[in-house]
Amino acid sequence: MDIRLARIDDRLIHGQVATVWAKEAGAKRIIVVSEEVERDEIRKTLVKQAAPPGIKVNVINVEKAIKVFNNPKYKNETVFFLFTNPSEVLEMVRGGIPIKSINIGGMQFKQGRKQVTKAVSITDNDAVAFKQLVSEGVELDLRVIASDAKGNFEEKMKEAGF
Protein backbone atom coordinates (compact mmCIF):
# COMPACT_ATOMS: atom_id res chain seq x y z
CA MET A 1 0.00 0.00 0.00
CA ASP A 2 1.37 3.37 -1.01
CA ILE A 3 0.57 6.07 1.58
CA ARG A 4 0.35 9.32 -0.35
CA LEU A 5 -0.78 11.50 2.57
CA ALA A 6 -1.73 11.18 6.23
CA ARG A 7 -3.71 14.08 7.71
CA ILE A 8 -5.44 14.96 10.97
CA ASP A 9 -8.56 17.01 10.33
CA ASP A 10 -11.53 16.41 12.61
CA ARG A 11 -13.87 17.83 9.96
CA LEU A 12 -12.79 14.86 7.83
CA ILE A 13 -13.90 15.23 4.20
CA HIS A 14 -14.92 18.83 3.57
CA GLY A 15 -14.30 21.31 0.77
CA GLN A 16 -10.55 21.78 1.29
CA VAL A 17 -9.93 18.04 1.71
CA ALA A 18 -12.19 17.01 -1.17
CA THR A 19 -10.85 19.52 -3.69
CA VAL A 20 -7.26 20.33 -2.75
CA TRP A 21 -5.77 17.71 -0.43
CA ALA A 22 -7.24 14.75 -2.32
CA LYS A 23 -5.77 16.10 -5.55
CA GLU A 24 -2.45 16.84 -3.80
CA ALA A 25 -2.33 13.26 -2.50
CA GLY A 26 -3.16 11.70 -5.86
CA ALA A 27 -4.60 8.67 -4.07
CA LYS A 28 -7.39 6.44 -5.35
CA ARG A 29 -8.73 5.77 -1.85
CA ILE A 30 -9.32 7.81 1.31
CA ILE A 31 -9.27 5.73 4.46
CA VAL A 32 -10.78 7.47 7.47
CA VAL A 33 -9.26 5.85 10.54
CA SER A 34 -11.47 6.65 13.51
CA GLU A 35 -13.07 4.41 16.11
CA GLU A 36 -15.62 7.15 16.86
CA VAL A 37 -16.69 7.73 13.24
CA GLU A 38 -16.66 4.01 12.43
CA ARG A 39 -19.29 3.43 15.15
CA ASP A 40 -21.49 6.38 14.08
CA GLU A 41 -23.54 5.19 11.08
CA ILE A 42 -24.87 8.65 10.22
CA ARG A 43 -21.46 10.32 10.29
CA LYS A 44 -19.92 7.40 8.39
CA THR A 45 -22.56 7.75 5.65
CA LEU A 46 -22.05 11.51 5.42
CA VAL A 47 -18.27 11.12 5.14
CA LYS A 48 -18.66 8.62 2.30
CA GLN A 49 -21.12 10.91 0.48
CA ALA A 50 -18.64 13.80 0.66
CA ALA A 51 -16.00 11.87 -1.27
CA PRO A 52 -14.56 13.47 -4.38
CA PRO A 53 -15.62 11.80 -7.66
CA GLY A 54 -13.55 8.74 -8.52
CA ILE A 55 -12.15 8.27 -5.03
CA LYS A 56 -13.26 5.38 -2.84
CA VAL A 57 -13.77 6.05 0.87
CA ASN A 58 -13.60 3.61 3.74
CA VAL A 59 -14.23 4.35 7.42
CA ILE A 60 -12.50 1.87 9.71
CA ASN A 61 -10.85 1.56 13.11
CA VAL A 62 -7.10 1.30 13.73
CA GLU A 63 -7.07 -2.48 14.08
CA LYS A 64 -8.75 -2.99 10.71
CA ALA A 65 -6.57 -0.31 9.08
CA ILE A 66 -3.45 -2.19 10.12
CA LYS A 67 -4.86 -5.47 8.78
CA VAL A 68 -5.84 -3.83 5.47
CA PHE A 69 -2.43 -2.19 5.13
CA ASN A 70 -0.72 -5.57 5.57
CA ASN A 71 -3.10 -7.44 3.24
CA PRO A 72 -1.26 -8.26 -0.03
CA LYS A 73 -4.57 -7.78 -1.87
CA TYR A 74 -4.17 -4.00 -1.36
CA LYS A 75 -0.43 -3.68 -2.02
CA ASN A 76 -0.94 -1.59 -5.18
CA GLU A 77 -3.51 0.78 -3.61
CA THR A 78 -2.66 4.46 -3.25
CA VAL A 79 -4.16 5.85 -0.05
CA PHE A 80 -4.82 9.06 1.81
CA PHE A 81 -5.20 8.31 5.53
CA LEU A 82 -7.47 10.76 7.34
CA PHE A 83 -7.61 10.92 11.15
CA THR A 84 -9.49 12.94 13.77
CA ASN A 85 -6.76 12.79 16.44
CA PRO A 86 -3.06 12.02 16.96
CA SER A 87 -3.63 9.03 19.27
CA GLU A 88 -4.96 6.90 16.43
CA VAL A 89 -2.03 7.98 14.24
CA LEU A 90 0.31 6.85 17.02
CA GLU A 91 -1.48 3.48 17.26
CA MET A 92 -0.99 3.02 13.52
CA VAL A 93 2.71 3.89 13.70
CA ARG A 94 3.24 1.56 16.65
CA GLY A 95 1.31 -1.09 14.72
CA GLY A 96 3.98 -0.99 12.03
CA ILE A 97 2.40 1.39 9.52
CA PRO A 98 5.15 3.52 7.95
CA ILE A 99 3.69 7.00 8.40
CA LYS A 100 6.68 9.32 8.07
CA SER A 101 4.80 12.61 8.19
CA ILE A 102 1.41 13.66 9.52
CA ASN A 103 -0.23 16.76 8.15
CA ILE A 104 -2.03 18.61 10.94
CA GLY A 105 -4.89 20.51 9.37
CA GLY A 106 -7.70 21.14 11.77
CA MET A 107 -8.70 20.20 15.29
CA GLN A 108 -11.57 22.38 16.41
CA PHE A 109 -11.68 24.21 19.71
CA LYS A 110 -14.07 22.78 22.29
CA GLN A 111 -14.30 22.18 26.03
CA GLY A 112 -11.09 20.68 27.40
CA ARG A 113 -8.88 21.82 24.53
CA LYS A 114 -6.30 24.55 24.41
CA GLN A 115 -5.74 26.57 21.25
CA VAL A 116 -2.33 26.05 19.60
CA THR A 117 -3.04 27.84 16.30
CA LYS A 118 -6.14 29.39 14.76
CA ALA A 119 -7.12 26.01 13.32
CA VAL A 120 -5.71 23.58 15.90
CA SER A 121 -6.76 23.09 19.52
CA ILE A 122 -5.57 20.08 21.51
CA THR A 123 -5.94 18.28 24.81
CA ASP A 124 -3.09 17.25 27.11
CA ASN A 125 -3.49 13.69 25.75
CA ASP A 126 -3.18 14.99 22.17
CA ALA A 127 0.04 16.82 23.13
CA VAL A 128 1.49 13.63 24.61
CA ALA A 129 0.57 11.68 21.44
CA PHE A 130 2.15 14.34 19.20
CA LYS A 131 5.37 14.24 21.26
CA GLN A 132 5.40 10.44 21.05
CA LEU A 133 4.92 10.63 17.27
CA VAL A 134 8.00 12.86 17.07
CA SER A 135 9.96 10.35 19.17
CA GLU A 136 8.85 7.65 16.70
CA GLY A 137 10.40 9.73 13.88
CA VAL A 138 7.16 11.17 12.46
CA GLU A 139 7.32 14.70 11.05
CA LEU A 140 4.55 17.03 12.29
CA ASP A 141 3.55 18.99 9.17
CA LEU A 142 1.38 21.92 10.26
CA ARG A 143 -0.53 23.16 7.20
CA VAL A 144 -4.22 23.98 7.04
CA ILE A 145 -4.15 24.40 3.28
CA ALA A 146 -1.73 22.84 0.83
CA SER A 147 -0.22 26.16 -0.26
CA ASP A 148 0.74 27.09 3.34
CA ALA A 149 4.40 26.85 4.29
CA LYS A 150 5.07 24.01 6.72
CA GLY A 151 4.77 25.24 10.29
CA ASN A 152 6.78 24.06 13.30
CA PHE A 153 4.07 22.35 15.34
CA GLU A 154 6.41 21.36 18.16
CA GLU A 155 7.29 25.03 18.65
CA LYS A 156 3.62 26.05 18.54
CA MET A 157 2.81 23.46 21.24
CA LYS A 158 5.60 24.86 23.46
CA GLU A 159 4.28 28.40 22.94
CA ALA A 160 0.82 27.17 23.99
CA GLY A 161 2.22 25.66 27.18
CA PHE A 162 2.47 21.99 26.22
pLDDT, one tens digit per residue, over 29-68 is: 999 999 999 999 999 999 999 888 889 999 999 999 999 9
Average pLDDT, the chain: 93
Q: What is the dihedral of CA 21, 8, 6, 88, to 10 degrees?
A: -160
Q: With a cut of 80, say whether residue 24 has pLDDT above it.
A: yes
Q: With a cut of 80, say whether residue 128 has pLDDT above it.
A: yes
Residue type at position 101: S
Just list the catalytic residues: 14
Instruction: Report in angstroms the alpha-carbon separations of 2 from 25, 108, 115, 147.
Output: 11, 29, 33, 23
Residue 83, SS3?
strand
> What share of the chain has pLDDT > 70, as a percent?
98
Give every strand in the sheet of 56-60, ordered side by side.
56-60, 29-33, 78-83, 2-9, 101-106, 139-142, 151-152
Q: With a cut of 80, say whether residue 20 has pLDDT above it.
A: no
> What share of the chain has pLDDT > 90, as a percent?
80
Instruction: Report in angstroms the alpha-carbon separations of 5 from 30, 100, 110, 112.
Output: 9, 10, 26, 28
- Going through the chain in order, the beta strands assigned E by DSSP cover 2-9, 29-33, 56-60, 78-83, 101-106, 114-115, 121-122, 139-142, 151-152
The whole-number pLDDT of residue 14 equals 75
Q: Which residues contact 161 (CB under 8 A, 6 or more apart)?
A: 114
- Look up the pTM and report it: 0.92
Stretch 105-133: mean pLDDT: 96
The whole-number pLDDT of residue 76 equals 94
- pLDDT band (50, 70, 90) for residue 147: confident
Q: With a cut of 80, say whether residue 3 has pLDDT above it.
A: yes
Q: Which of 10-19, 41-50, 70-79, 115-124 has the lowest mean pLDDT?
A: 10-19
The whole-number pLDDT of residue 15 equals 67
- pLDDT band (50, 70, 90) for residue 144: confident
